[in-house]
Amino acid sequence: MEEHTDILVAGAGAAGLTAALALARTSFRVTVVGPPDVGGSARTVALFDGSIRFLDNIDAWAPCADAAAALRVMRIVDRTGSIFAPPPASFPSTEIGLDAFGWNIENQVLVSRLADLARAHPGIRFIEDFVSGYAFERDCVRVRTKGGEAVSASLVVAADGRSSPTREAARITTTTWRYPQVALTAIFAHDMPHKDTSTEFHTRQGPCTFVPLPGTAEHPNRSSLVWMMSPEEADRRAALPAEAFAREASETGLRHLGALRLISQRGRVPMQGLTARRLTGARIALVGEAAHAFPPIGAQGLNLGLRDVAHLAEALEGAAAGDDAGAPARLAVYERLRRADVGTRTMGVDTLNRALLNHHLPMDFLRGAGLFALSSIGPLRRMAMREGVLPGMGAPRVMRQRPAPVNT
């Protein structure tokens, strides 16, 4: 027996589950297919103010908030050894009128709490299984799960990550590239408080970033680490005993948190970039890393993915029951809303990363002068902070608004 749904979301990661929760607020019936990945990856995601507004608006932030730490100050410290190295720069969120730039949360905690919300949602059918096959037809997409369920949908939302089988099945091609870097991730307990400050140490092999996490009874001071380095260094550091690894991380971070103690597994992620040539096709829309991926610099990845989801919900808004969720006109709106943001962020992160990896003096000068100008020229600094948090032009409406108070 084949069941029909208006929208099928493939992938139950952060982007897919948020898509299911947001799209269930339209008039469409939603099915999400995928086992939520809640394995211990030691990865955290810093979600900016606009993303928090969006999650709040779909009642998905309150259940996550206790597991997140505020990011009130961003610091950049140049450790490249360049003769043009600028002094450390600090960017406080109050300067752009925000209590915090955003909040940092363990990815697996976020996914597991969003999955709980999706399971409890009366408007969502949640099939916790892999999709094993697709047939794209004129009026619908036929989907089969590994366990043998058959579902047809008017629209498939591909939220199944960077190697997206859904995107492949729809024959949407990608441009991909690699960086000579690997990111090691870890969670540390430390002696000194983080003071709600995220600090990015720029090294010749990439940024080494410490991001605040909330304390626990056992570990009152905790932070996560994303440390980009050459694959050889990553292999060496991944094999170090925990104490030696913590010591090297602490030294790279100039011991600003005091002594570090490793309290998680170490994660290892090769750095790659990807953009899909199109974000839509016949009866398909791509969101999250199925559409774009780049290195974790400036905490842009999932924030961009949540903007995809918010814009997709905007494109499907106002539909009546019985309307076609996969109507080409709606997908064209989504494609138009997303192109500039995805292109600009992908290029911005790529340029920043390559500037760090380039050891030539003129580039060192440009990088040093750029950071110095950003930190010392007030209007420029505020513009960069605002733009880092949310694009000044064309951000989804919901990310600009606070949710209306709920009448009880």
Interface residue list for ligand FAD (CB under 6 A): 10-16, 33-34, 37, 43, 45-46, 107, 130-131, 159-161, 165, 183, 185, 226, 269, 288-289, 296, 299-303, 305
What does the alpha-carbon distance between residue 181 and residue 184 come to, in Å, rounded to a whole number? 10
Q: Which residues pair with 185 in a beta bridge?
A: 226, 267
What does the alpha-carbon distance between residue 352 and residue 81 come to, in Å, rounded to a whole number? 17
| Phi (first) and psi of residue 332, to 5 degrees | -65, -35
Tokens representing residue 132 in the block: 């094993």
First-to-last C-alpha distance (Å) of the chain: 42
In the bound state with ligand FAD, the residue whose beta carbon lies nearer, of 154 and 303, is 303
How far, in whole angstroms, is CA 43 from its chain's centroid? Answer: 11
Closest CA to 320 of 9, 7, 28: 28
The minimum distance between CB 28 and ligand FAD, in angstroms, equals 20
In the bound state with ligand FAD, the residue whose beta carbon lies nearer, of 28 and 294, is 294
The minimum distance between CB 85 and ligand FAD, in angstroms, equals 25
The minimum distance between CB 31 and ligand FAD, in angstroms, equals 12
Residue 338 near residue 311, CB atoms below 8 Å: yes
Residue 245 near residue 300, CB atoms below 8 Å: no
Q: Which residues pair with 32 in a beta bridge?
A: 9, 126
In the bound state with ligand FAD, the residue whose beta carbon lies nearer, of 147 and 318, is 147
In the bound state with ligand FAD, the residue whose beta carbon lies nearer, of 98 and 269, is 269
Residue 262 near residue 188, CB atoms below 8 Å: yes
What does the alpha-carbon distance between residue 374 and residue 10 come to, in Å, rounded to a whole number? 41
The minimum distance between CB 372 and ligand FAD, in angstroms, equals 25
Residue 81 Ramachandran class (φ > 0 left, ψ -120 to 50 alpha, else beta): left
In the bound state with ligand FAD, the residue whose beta carbon lies nearer, of 41 and 80, is 41
In the bound state with ligand FAD, the residue whose beta carbon lies nearer, of 305 and 368, is 305
The minimum distance between CB 54 and ligand FAD, in angstroms, equals 12
The minimum distance between CB 93 and ligand FAD, in angstroms, equals 15
In the bound state with ligand FAD, the residue whose beta carbon lies nearer, of 151 and 302, is 302
The minimum distance between CB 368 and ligand FAD, in angstroms, equals 25
Beta strands in 107-149 (DSSP E): 124-127, 131-136, 141-145
Instruction: Write the CA distances from 234 to 54, 223, 231, 261, integer angstroms.
Output: 36, 20, 5, 19
Closest CA to 65 of 15, 114, 13: 114
Residue 93 near residue 46, CB atoms below 8 Å: no
The minimum distance between CB 143 and ligand FAD, in angstroms, equals 9
Residue 201 near residue 209, CB atoms below 8 Å: yes
The minimum distance between CB 185 and ligand FAD, in angstroms, equals 5
Element (H, E) at 248: helix 242-252
Bridge pairing between strands 124-127 and 30-33: parallel
The minimum distance between CB 113 and ligand FAD, in angstroms, equals 14
